[in-house]
């Protein structure tokens, strides 16, 4: 997920599976990986559950590459399909360098680096929140997306430890955005079409803490 801000088990010696070979090839040059852009079928194909296809060492290297790529983009989340790998793995991290009024309106609070393996989410309560959102795989644009205000996330971390946690505010949005990638969905699938804005227009005109002004001017409804 792109940050939207106001202006200011494999055994040793066993042959590599095709997925592992693909990841090894991606990691070979070092540095940030290439982020796949919308239109590439890998972003629509969905993913297979991670069941040790990479082995512990290769998984650790892949996770580190995702972290480096997310930081370099820069973004606050990145899913494996966005670098061409159809595995149910994503990373998130958000330092949340935003003004206090934005923090309060959006519930945007810092999130430490997290690895999500085989994540799934369900909405908690009826609350919905709509804000402008961007994506590293859809560069140059933002659109308003109404999402669950709170979600329950289940899955595992990179060590195989169970995750069962509730997220609210902006962290809930990041979790939903990245998990959607793993299901072959882009944020544009859920977006309000009339809100679609070029990045520079979104920053110049719609960088307020909430999208109320954009809704009035562009003619769409908020939940």
Going by the annotation, the residues of the binding site are 135, 177, 181
Binding site as annotated, residues for Fe cation? 135, 177, 181
Record the tokens describing residue 203, joined without a space: 């920053």
Q: 93, 133, 156, 178: which one is catalytic?
A: 178
**Which distant-in-sequence residues (6+ apart) come within 8 Å of 89 by Cβ?**
47, 50, 62, 63, 66, 79, 80, 115, 116, 117, 182
| In contact, 65 and 85? CB cutoff 8 Å | no
Give 151-208 as a DSSP string. EEEEEE-TTS-EEEEEEEHHHHHHHHHHHHHHTT--GGGTB-GGG-EEHHHHHHHS-S
Contacts 24+ apart (CB under 8 A), 193-198: 193/143, 193/220, 194/218, 194/219, 194/220, 195/132, 195/143, 195/144, 195/220, 196/141, 196/142, 196/143, 197/132, 197/141, 197/142, 197/143, 198/140, 198/141
Whether 221 is catalytic? no
**Residues labelled as active-site residues:** 178
């Amino acid at each position: 997920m792109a940050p939207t801000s106001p202006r200011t088990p494999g055994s040793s010696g066993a042959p590599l599976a095709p997925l592992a070979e693909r990841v090894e090839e991606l990691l070979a040059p070092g540095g940030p990986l290439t982020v796949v852009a919308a239109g590439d079928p890998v972003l629509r194909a969905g993913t297979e559950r991670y069941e040790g296809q990479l082995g512990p060492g290769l998984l650790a290297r892949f996770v580190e590459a995702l972290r480096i790529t997310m930081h370099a983009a820069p973004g606050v989340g990145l899913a494996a399909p966005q670098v061409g790998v159809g595995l149910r793995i994503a990373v998130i991290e958000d330092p949340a360098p935003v003004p206090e009024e934005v923090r309060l309106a959006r519930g945007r609070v810092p999130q430490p680096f997290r690895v999500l393996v085989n994540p799934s989410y369900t909405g908690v309560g009826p609350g919905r929140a709509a804000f402008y959102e961007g994506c590293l795989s859809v560069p140059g644009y933002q659109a308003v997306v109404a999402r669950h205000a709170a979600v329950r996330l289940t899955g595992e971390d990179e060590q195989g430890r169970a995750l069962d946690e509730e997220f609210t505010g902006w962290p809930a949005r990041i979790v939903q955005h990245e998990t959607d990638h793993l299901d072959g969905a882009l944020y544009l699938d859920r977006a309000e079409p009339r809100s679609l804005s070029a990045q520079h227009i979104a920053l110049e005109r719609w960088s307020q803490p909430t999208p109320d002004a954009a809704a009035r001017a562009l003619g769409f409804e908020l939940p």
